[in-house]
Chain A
Amino acid sequence: MSRSKLRELGLDLPLLPTTSVGSLPKPPYLLKARSDFAQRKIQIEELKDAERRATSFWIRRQEELGLDVLVDGEMYRGDMVAYFADRLSGFEQGGLVRSYGNRYYHKPIIVDEIGWKGPITVEWWRYAQGLTSKPVKGMLTGPYTIMDWSFNERYASRRDACLALAQEVRREVEALVAAGCKVIQIDEPAVSVRPEELNLAVEAMEITTRGLKAYFLTHICYGDFESIYPGMLDLAVDNFDLEMSNSGLDMLRVFSKRPFTSDISYGVVDVHTHVIENAAAVEQRLRRGLELLPIENVWVDPDCGLKTRTVEEAETKLETVVAAARAVRNS
């Protein structure tokens, strides 16, 4: 069904389309520019130049590596929630909290009514799409995850905050669609951790995408999938981007009991290790998935965003993804 939707949108993708989840590592010159900007050593235009240069680099590299659906690499983002919170009204930047090990992020605080002030990602999407003839995904964080990864001092309940966010994220989706974006990924990594709130996430996604003309993906990762499956398939998207290899393909056991009925972006390389997986092993992971999943429904990508890897590691991991897909396509 989603193949026909892709065709209706004018997208002619090969079997096993390859893509990346979203974030890619920032080259050293961009890291320096961000640090210099934070210390007020350079102006915003100088930082933006570095961000555009890095975006161009990654668009070119993804084309060279042979990926089919590209991402802008999120060179302009710090993290996936604060970036949006900073650009919506109603949020205040919070202090640093730890995500794991030695990694920290600024967790936003909802202090007032949330509102969309204008396009957030459209300019960057247009810039990236202008560099390539291949489709570039629009990249958003979903309302449930923005709510769950923010502190809430304004709304009476999590539900109220989530549904308010859904209305405003939808306006960003509408802006992307109006700009010509046909493939839009709405990341909801938090969906898998509170099974009791899955219905809320479903309701919010319905508000966010209902009736809009685009192929929608959502990325969910590092949680207890078993507890939200198959209910998660009710999320109003066409494609579920899942980390499969990090958990040793555990999800296939779940799919064997209850068939996976949507399109899937099937993660075949672990993004949290410096190790570059053996190409044959990655191909084997994909082949195991195809024992259960219809090949026309499967996209291939890494488990999650690659921003924590070095540029070279990310390139090699993406190369491995493409090689695995090609090997299976050609067999």
Chain B
Amino acid sequence: MTSPFALQKCSVNEMNLLTANHSSYPRIGSTPEEQALRRAITRRDQGRGTDSDVLAAEDCLALLALQDQQNAGLDLVTDGMIRWHDPVSHLAGRLEGPRTGDLLRYFDTNFYFRRPVTNSKLARTNPLVLDEFRWAAQRSAQSVKTVLTGPLTLARLSLLEDPAANPDVLVMSYAEALSAEIGDLAAAGAGAIQIDEPWIAKHSFDLPLALQAWSLIAAYKGNAKLWLATFFGDAAPLYARLQESPFDVLAFDFTYSPNLLHVIEADGSAKPLGLGLIDGRNTKLEDTSMVARQVERVMAHVASSHCYLTTSCGLEYLPRDRARQKLNHLTAIKNSFLGVQQ
């Protein structure tokens, strides 16, 4: 079968499988140390603590997240997005323009975000996550991937103050704001920047606009590898066009995409893939050898010398002990795959 995106395919034996944390990580657990952030926020809100106490607790939990990833033997880590109130307001709230709106569910999760209310004019007057990247990079032995919610998702989850305004303009406004952030992240040495775009997985009609917005931000990536992560929806119908997007790495949620394996086998991949074969939203651990075989099937059709094994989405939707198990499982599957290779 012809693989249009895998013209210079490597043999499986030459390929390297790396493990990567997808994005978020639980900011609470069962031990007193793991509950420090919740307590600090509660105390501050009750007037018994300060913002500095909360910042210190965030540092503590972010450090624990880095340690869990290091202990699991991951190759690429994140700061766990411990400081994020939610995937939308953490960024929109730091831009000039949006104000905090009503509470909505984040896609099909039981997790909620504050919807930004805005007009089409946004301005990035201060860095968004640059300090968070620097903090994590200084403390991590592994490479750190920085995560940003993408312009399409941010815009579509925002409410325009003027109902007559063109919502597509807001997508490009967010893209401009994120471009500046990506430029600064790249200049600060960020090697991997992931753009989370769950919206596109269920709204493929937005792809032409998304490609415009992504092209804009990709122009600022410098030496960083730019990742696209889609999740909470089936990416198979979008796969071919995403191969033509300006991203360096494409990460997919396979739990929503029963046909994605077949699509990749048929079309191949010119880019490294993030293989979200481990369910980030269910506690059940996948069969190690079965996933290793799925990895092998995919990697036989990838032109790049490496791929990343990851979870289907961020791990914040799991209890901490189960999230930790999933991280360890990534390494176990990687080892199983390497065994298969040999």
Contacts and interface: CB of A to CB of B under 8 A. Distances in A.
Interface of A: 94-102, 104, 107, 109, 148-149, 151-153, 190, 192-194, 222-223, 246-248, 270, 272
B162 interface: no
B219 interface: no
Interface residues of B, number: 32
Given A95-B322, A222-B112, A101 B85 contact: yes
A194 B105 CA distance: 11
Q: Which of A95, A152, A153, A222 has the most CB of B within 10 A?
A: A95
B293 interface: no
Nearest to B281: A151
Contacts of A97: 26, 316-319
7 contacts: A96-B319, A97-B26, A98-B27, A102-B42, A152-B284, A193-B108, A248-B102
B105 A223 contact: yes
A100 B103 contact: yes
Contacts of B102: 246-248, 270, 272
Contacts of A100: 86, 103, 111-113
B335 interface: no
Contact of A94 (B110, B111, B113, B283): B283
B231 to A, nearest CB: 14
B41 interface: yes
B172 to A, nearest CB: 24
Interface in B101-128: 102-105, 107-113
A148 B110 contact: yes
B262 interface: no
Nearest to B108: A193
B28 A152 contact: no
Contacts of A272: 102-103
Contacts of A247: 102
Contacts of A96: 26, 28-30, 319-320
A209 B86 CA distance: 37
B139 interface: no
B180 to A, nearest CB: 27
Closest 6 pairs between A and B when the two form their complex, measured CB to CB:
A95-B319, A100-B112, A151-B283, A153-B284, A193-B108, A102-B41
A121 to B, nearest CB: 21
Contact of A104 (B28, B108, B112): B28
Given A152-B282, A223-B105, A247-B102, A95 B112 contact: no
Contacts of A149: 110
Nearest to B320: A95
Contacts of A193: 105, 107-109
A150 to B, nearest CB: 10
A192 B251 CA distance: 27
A271 to B, nearest CB: 9
Given A95-B29, A99-B110, A151 B284 contact: yes
A76 B322 CA distance: 28
A169 to B, nearest CB: 18
Nearest to A101: B85
Contacts of B283: 94, 109, 151, 153
Q: Which of B109, B317, B319 has the most CB of A within 10 A?
A: B319
Nearest to A106: B319
Nearest to A81: B110
B198 to A, nearest CB: 13
A101 B103 CA distance: 11
Nearest to B316: A98
A110 to B, nearest CB: 10
A157 B45 CA distance: 41
B96 interface: no
Given A99-B112, A193-B105, A222-B105, A107 B28 contact: no
